[in-house]
Amino acid sequence: MTLQAPLDLDGAIALADAVAASAASDAAPLDSAKQLLGAGEVVLEAWVEAAGNVPTEEEVEGYRLLALHRQGAKGNPSFNACRETCRELVYLRNVVEMSLSEGDLAQARHHLMLEAHVLRHLGLFVGGKLHESGLGDFCCSSRPLHSADSTITN
């Protein structure tokens, strides 16, 4: 699968949907697996940037995704609810690579499909957190609407 790198959170979810739908016949599963991991970074960048911080370029255990998660969870322990989701994303990307090295294309494609599902979950979770915290797109629960000096009639 050849796809453009997603530019935002919605793009990451769209990529997850596309890969999940086509994983069974993906001609280059490792390329797609790497794209999904990169899309996971885009999702976490959105969270870090919404909190007013600059996304780290560092790595934890060899992966920027895990460093971004650590950065995003700093001072916000509830963000740890997606810690294992991020680790699964890394794990599945590695299983895709390992399966290919063992010549098992079917297993590689299966795990690519699972990786896409996990990325979709990360995107939905972070999207929900952005709304809940009033950091994302406008929604009925966004912070300004409920602040003391801002009412719905203003």
Partner 1 sequence: MDGSNDLQKVAYYPGCALEGTGHAYNRSTKAVGKSLGLELVELENWNCCGAMEVKNVDPKVQTYLSARNLSIAEDMGFDKVMAPCNGCYHNLKKAEYDLANDPKSVEVNERISAKAGHDAYKPGKVETIHALDWIKKAVGEEELEKRVKNSLKGIKVANYYGCMYTRPRHIFPEKDKGPGSESTAKPHFMDDILAAAGAENVEFPLKTACCGGAHSLSDSDMSTKLVLNIIETAEACGAEVIATECPTCHTGLEMHQVRAEKVLGRKTNVKILYFTQLLGMALGLSASKVGVQENLSDSRAFLKEKGLG
The nearer residue to partner 1, 92 or 100, going by C-beta atoms, is 92
In angstroms, the CA 74 to CA 56 distance is 12
**DSSP H helix total and E strand total for the chain:** 6, 0
Our finding on whether 87 is near partner 1 (CB under 8 A) is yes
Our finding on whether 118 is near partner 1 (CB under 8 A) is yes
- Considering only the stretches 3-11, 46-54, 64-72, 123-131, report the one whose residues sit in contact with partner 1 under the rule CB under 8 A: 123-131
What value, to the nearest 5°, has the Cα angle with vertex 43 and ends 113 and 53?
A: 160
Considering only residues 127 to 146 of the shown chain, the ones binding partner 1 according to CB under 8 A are: 127-128, 131-132, 139, 141
Query: Do the beta carbons of residue 116 and residue 109 sit within 8 Å?
Result: no
* CB neighbourhood size of 38 (10 A): 17
* CB neighbourhood size of 39 (10 A): 27
The nearer residue to partner 1, 57 or 102, going by C-beta atoms, is 102
Binding residues (CB under 8 A) for partner 1: these are 20, 77, 80-82, 84-85, 87-88, 91-92, 113-114, 117-118, 120-121, 124-125, 127-128, 131-132, 139, 141
